[in-house]
Structure 1
Amino acid sequence: MAYRLETLATMSSGELRQAWLTLFDAAAPDAPASLLRLALGHRLQTKQQGGLPAWANRMLDAIAADPAERPEPPIQIKAGTRLLREWQGKLHSVTVSDEGCLYDGRCFASLTQVAREITNTHRSGPQFFGIKRRPPPPRQGEAAHG
């Protein structure tokens, strides 16, 4: 049976448990119907629209393995951003797109590949272009440093 997000609100507890069995291929946990609806809704949306990006799943796995760890999220640059860097007397311009990094009429998969193309050595692309990470927000109970 194909389930729809809008039908979850009117499903009985038994119907929700049957939907869980279908969508998760496992018996539903002993939880209130309201929580089953939320989890089933998330599952339906994930199936329809895709899940988290791989980097987010890696971060969640790292946090689950060691909650004290705070892994660094990848640097994300919005499409349309133009980066400029002077190197050996020449100004280099890179435009970030959804497909990659456009430089010198070609598309590169990463800023690091562009930095290698420009310098002919292995370098961190974000570092080469002067991109800095934002400090993470303080954890609950920690004071913010300003």
Structure 2
Amino acid sequence: MSRSSLAEELALIETLARDDLSARWVKAFGTVAPAGVRLDLLIRGITWDVQTRRLGGLSTVARRLLKAAKVDTLRRRAQRSKTALGESQAQPLKESYEGPNGAADALHPGSRIVRDWCGQPHTVDVVENGYVYEGKVYRSLSSIARVITGTNWSGPRFFGLVNRRASS
């Protein structure tokens, strides 16, 4: 298929109705589109899938460079957190939170969790040493939930990482 027909298909995708885009998403990714996803993100995801199928994905070199950049960014972010707190306050923290029932879907350093509480957004960054909230490194999500709410909460539940039915 020529590049001009690819360009035509990509242009066509931008004219599709939301229902048609959702159907294309299922075809492309094998799952329904995330609830509430914006129309422009549906379009971008589908066009990305079309392009990678036709032109190929990232090269091995590009993937290796992206992975190295990710590792370097995470290392720098963790170092900034330690420097901001001072080495005396740095504590050995667990590397990542494992999902419900020890599932393999762990949060990885570089992930960001956002929770709206009482009309105020609260952002937590996952780092190798734990979790950073308002410039301070915490050992657990539960301790951050306690700071935000003033009461004891299951951190994974508070941040929506655990399905209520699965954890009950």
TMscore range, shorter length = 0.3 to 0.5
Higher relative contact order (CA 8 A, sep 6+): 2
TM (norm. structure 1) is: 0.40
TM (norm. structure 2) is: 0.35
Greater gyration radius: 1
More helix as a share of residues: 2
